[in-house]
Amino acid sequence: MTERLDVTERLDATPDLAALAASAARAAENCRLCARECGVNRHHGRVGFCRLDLEAPCYKALLSHGEEPELSPTALLDLGGCSLRCLGCTEWDHVVEPWRAPAVPLRADWLAARLTRWIAGGARTLSFVGGEPTVHLPAVLKTLAELPPSLRLPVVWNTNGVLGPGAFALLRDVVACWVVDYKVVDDGAARRLLGAGSLAYVAEVEATLDRIEAAATPSAAGSPGGDGLPRLLIRHLLVPGELERSTLPLLERLSQRWPSAVVNLMLMWLPHGPALSAAAGPTALRRVNLDAERAIAIAEATRLLGPRLRLDGKRIA
C-alpha cells in the first residue's frame, strides 16, 4: 500500500492561501488529493481517475437561493469531474467529461467580477460543488489566494467525503462549513451504487466526519459574515429501494455520532444519468420514492434527530 500524503503542520488561524495553493500544486505531482490515491503527476496531463490536470473546469456559476437556509443566498460554483461515479448523479455528463461545454477555467479575475455582483445581491457564502471540489484543490486554493480580501466569503465545501487526510489538512482552516453527502452504509452498496471500486467508502467518509468534528473553528479566511453557518451539514438522499439497507441504518448512526451536525434528509429522488438505463443498477433506481418509503424515513429521522433534522433543506415546524 502506498504511503498517504500527510500534511500535518499546524496552519495559522488566518490561512496563508498562497502557501496552501503551492502545497496543493506540489501534492498533485504524485496525486493523493482524494482517497483514490492515483499517485499520478497531474502537471503532466489529465492522467488520474478524475481526468483533471491543474485547471478546474467551472460549468455553472450562479447566486443560488436553493441551498439550505443556513447557507443561502450562496455564490455557487459547479466544477466538473469527481472521484465517484454515482448511478443517479444529476451532474453525470460533467463528472465523466469535466471539460464538456460550457465549462471555463476557474480564474480569480473571472470569479471576482461575478462575486462583486453576487455580494451586492446578498451572497453570504461561496459554495464549491461538483462533481467533487476536492479534486480541484490546486486551482481552487490558487483562485481564493488571488481574490481581493473584500470578496472573500465564508467557504462552503460540498463534498462526497472521500477526501483523505492530506486534502483535509489543506482545507481545514479555509472551509467555514462542510456539506458532506453520506450516501450508503456499506462498501458493497458503495461499489454497486457509487462506483466506489476498491475504495473503503464508509471508513473514508466517517474519517472525514471525525476530522471535521475534531477540528477547531476556522477563521473563514477573513470572511465578512459567517453568522449562523453550521460547521457540519450532512446530506443524505433517500434512494428508491434503499430505505432498509441504507437510510434507516444511517439515520441510526447519525443519531449517535457527529452530534454537532445538522442533517438534511432529501426525499426527492429523480432518476438521472446511468440510473435511467435498464443495463445499469437496480430497477428501483428508475422510479421515484414511494409515499410509504418517504413516510417511514421522515418518521424515523424525526424521532432520532429532532431539531438537528432538515427535510429537503427546510426546518421542521
Residue numbers at the binding site for ligand SF4 (CB under 6 A): 31-34, 36-38, 40, 42, 48-50, 52, 83, 135
Residue 49 or 128 with smaller CB distance to ligand SF4: 49
Count of all residues that appear for the chain in the document: 317
Minimal distance, residue 45 CB to ligand SF4, in Å: 11
Cα distance from N-terminal residue to C-terminal residue, the chain: 50
Minimal distance, residue 137 CB to ligand SF4, in Å: 8
Residue 28 or 309 with smaller CB distance to ligand SF4: 28
Residue 7 or 40 with smaller CB distance to ligand SF4: 40
Minimal distance, residue 210 CB to ligand SF4, in Å: 20
Residue whose Cβ sits closest to ligand SF4: 48
Residue 129 or 309 with smaller CB distance to ligand SF4: 129
Q: What angle do CA 237, 70, 112 make, to 5 degrees?
A: 105
Minimal distance, residue 181 CB to ligand SF4, in Å: 17
Residues ≥6 apart with Cβ < 8 Å to 11: 20, 169, 172, 173
Select from 18, 88, 110 the least CA-distant residue to 281. 88
Minimal distance, residue 301 CB to ligand SF4, in Å: 32
Minimal distance, residue 227 CB to ligand SF4, in Å: 33
User: In whole angstroms, what is the distance from residue 263 CA to residue 172 CA?
Assistant: 21
Amino acid present at 122: G
Q: Over the range 280-308, which residues count as b (16 or more CB within 10 Å of their CB) and which as e? A: ebeebbeeebeeebbebbbebbeebbeeb
Residue 33 or 126 with smaller CB distance to ligand SF4: 33
Stated as kind and residue range, the H or E segment containing 311 is strand 309-311
CB of 38 closer than 8 Å to CB of 48: yes
Q: Which grid coordinates are listed for 14?
A: 488566518
Minimal distance, residue 304 CB to ligand SF4, in Å: 33
| For helices 108-120 and 137-146, angle between their N-to-C axes, nearest 10 degrees | 60
Residue 32 or 124 with smaller CB distance to ligand SF4: 32
CB of 152 closer than 8 Å to CB of 223: yes
Residue 17 or 139 with smaller CB distance to ligand SF4: 139
Q: Over the range 202-221, which residues count as b (16 or more CB within 10 Å of their CB) and which as e? A: bebbbbbbebbeebeebbbb
Residues ≥6 apart with Cβ < 8 Å to 232: 177, 178, 180, 209, 212, 213, 258, 260, 261, 262
Residue 197 or 222 with smaller CB distance to ligand SF4: 197
Minimal distance, residue 161 CB to ligand SF4, in Å: 13
CB of 238 closer than 8 Å to CB of 289: yes
Minimal distance, residue 117 CB to ligand SF4, in Å: 31
Residue 33 or 251 with smaller CB distance to ligand SF4: 33
